[in-house]
Amino acid sequence: MRIAVAGTGYVGLITGICLAEMGHHVVCTDVREEKIQLLKTGRSPIFEPGLEPMLKHNMSNGRLDFTTNPRTAYKNAEIIFIAVGTPENEDGTANLDYIHAAAYTIGVSIENDVIVCTKSTVPVGTNEKIKEIIQSVKPPPLQAIVVSNPEFLREGTGIIDFFNGDRIVIGTESREAASIMEKMYLPLKIPIMKTDTRSAEMIKYASNAFLATKISFINEIAAICEKVGANIEEVAYGIGKDKRIGPHFLQTGIGYGGSCFPKDTKALVQIAGNVKHKFELLESVIKVNYRQQALAVLKAKEILGSLKDKRVALLGLAFKPDTDDVREAASLTIAKALKDEGAMVIAYDPAAIANARKVLGDTIEYTMDIQLAIENTDAAIIATEWDQIKHFPLEIYAEKMKSPIIIDGRNCYSLQDLSSHPITYISIGRPSIKPYKVKS
Ligand X SMILES: O=c1ccn([C@@H]2O[C@H](COP(=O)(O)OP(=O)(O)O[C@H]3O[C@H](CO)[C@@H](O)[C@H](O)[C@H]3O)[C@@H](O)[C@H]2O)c(=O)[nH]1
Ligand Y SMILES: NC(=O)c1ccc[n+]([C@@H]2O[C@H](COP(=O)([O-])OP(=O)(O)OC[C@H]3O[C@@H](n4cnc5c(N)ncnc54)[C@H](O)[C@@H]3O)[C@@H](O)[C@H]2O)c1
- Among 3, 54, 55, 153, which residue interacts with ligand Y (rule: CB under 6 A)? 153
154 assigned binding-site residue: yes
- Among 257, 350, 404, 429, which residue interacts with ligand X (rule: CB under 6 A)? 257
Q: Which is nearer to ligand X, 161 or 173 (CB)?
A: 161
Burial group, residue 174, by CB count within 10 angstroms (0-12, 13-18, 19+)? middle
117 touches ligand X by CB under 6 A: no
CA angle 65, 70, 75 (to 5 degrees): 75
162 assigned binding-site residue: no
333 touches ligand Y by CB under 6 A: no
Q: Which stretch binds ligand X (CB under 6 A): 73-81, 152-160, 353-361, 418-426?
A: 152-160
316 touches ligand X by CB under 6 A: no
Q: Identify what 9 binds: ligand Y, ligand X, none; CB under 5 to 8 Å per kind.
A: ligand Y
304 assigned binding-site residue: no
- Among 3, 4, 9, 385, which residue interacts with ligand Y (rule: CB under 6 A)? 9
CA distance 190 to 181: 13
- Other CB atoms within a 10 A radius of the CB of residue 244 amount to 5
CA distance 184 to 263: 30
289 touches ligand Y by CB under 6 A: no
* Collapsed DSSP state (helix, strand, coil) of residue 326: coil
Kindly compute the dihedral angle of the four CA atoms of residues 32, 37, 39, 44, in this order, to the nearest 10 degrees: -70
Q: Residues 93-122: x/- map of binding to ligand Y (CB under 6 A)?
A: -----x--xx--x-------------xxx-
Please provide the distance, in angstroms rounded to a whole number, between the alpha carbons at the two ends of the chain: 66
- Among 151, 226, 233, 408, which residue interacts with ligand X (rule: CB under 6 A)? 151
Give the 3-state secondary structure of 398-419: HHHCCCCEEEECCCCCCHHHHC
Burial group, residue 290, by CB count within 10 angstroms (0-12, 13-18, 19+)? exposed
Q: Identify what 251 binds: ligand X, ligand Y, none; CB under 5 to 8 Å per kind.
A: ligand X
CB of 265 to ligand X, least distance (A): 11
261 touches ligand X by CB under 6 A: yes
260 touches ligand Y by CB under 6 A: yes
- Give catalytic residues, as residue numbers: 260
CA angle 364, 46, 117 (to 5 degrees): 130
319 touches ligand X by CB under 6 A: yes
Cβ-count burial 348-386 (b if 16+ within 10 Å, e if not): bbbbbbebbbeebeeebebbeebeebbbebbbbbbbbbb
Q: Which stretch binds ligand Y (CB under 6 A): 29-37, 231-239, 284-292, 298-306?
A: 29-37
86 assigned binding-site residue: yes
264 assigned binding-site residue: no
Q: Which is nearer to ligand X, 107 or 257 (CB)?
A: 257
320 touches ligand X by CB under 6 A: yes
- Other CB atoms within a 10 A radius of the CB of residue 393 amount to 11
CB of 119 to ligand Y, least distance (A): 6
322 touches ligand X by CB under 6 A: no
Cis preceding-peptide flag for 141 (omega within 30 of 0)? yes
List the beta strands (DSSP E) in 158-248: 168-171, 192-195
Q: Which is nearer to ligand X, 9 or 257 (CB)?
A: 257
Q: Which is nearer to ligand Y, 114 or 423 (CB)?
A: 114
Q: Identify what 215 binds: ligand Y, ligand X, none; CB under 5 to 8 Å per kind.
A: ligand X
16 touches ligand X by CB under 6 A: no
Q: Which is nearer to ligand X, 104 or 249 (CB)?
A: 249
172 touches ligand X by CB under 6 A: no
CA distance 85 to 92: 15
Q: In what order do the strands lie in the sheet with 2-6?
A: 64-67, 25-29, 2-6, 79-82, 114-118, 144-148, 168-171, 192-195
Q: Do the strands 114-118 and 311-315 form a parallel or antiparallel pair, or are they unpaired?
A: unpaired
Do the beta carbons of residue 28 and residue 18 sit within 8 Å?
no
Do the beta carbons of residue 405 and residue 424 sit within 8 Å?
yes
201 touches ligand Y by CB under 6 A: no
208 touches ligand X by CB under 6 A: yes
HSE-up of residue 150 (Cα within 13 Å, Cβ side): 30
Residues that bind ligand Y (CB under 6 A): 6-12, 29-32, 35, 83-86, 98, 101-102, 105, 119-121, 151, 153, 155, 259-260
Residues that bind ligand X (CB under 6 A): 121, 151-155, 208, 211, 215, 249-251, 253, 256-258, 260-261, 319-320
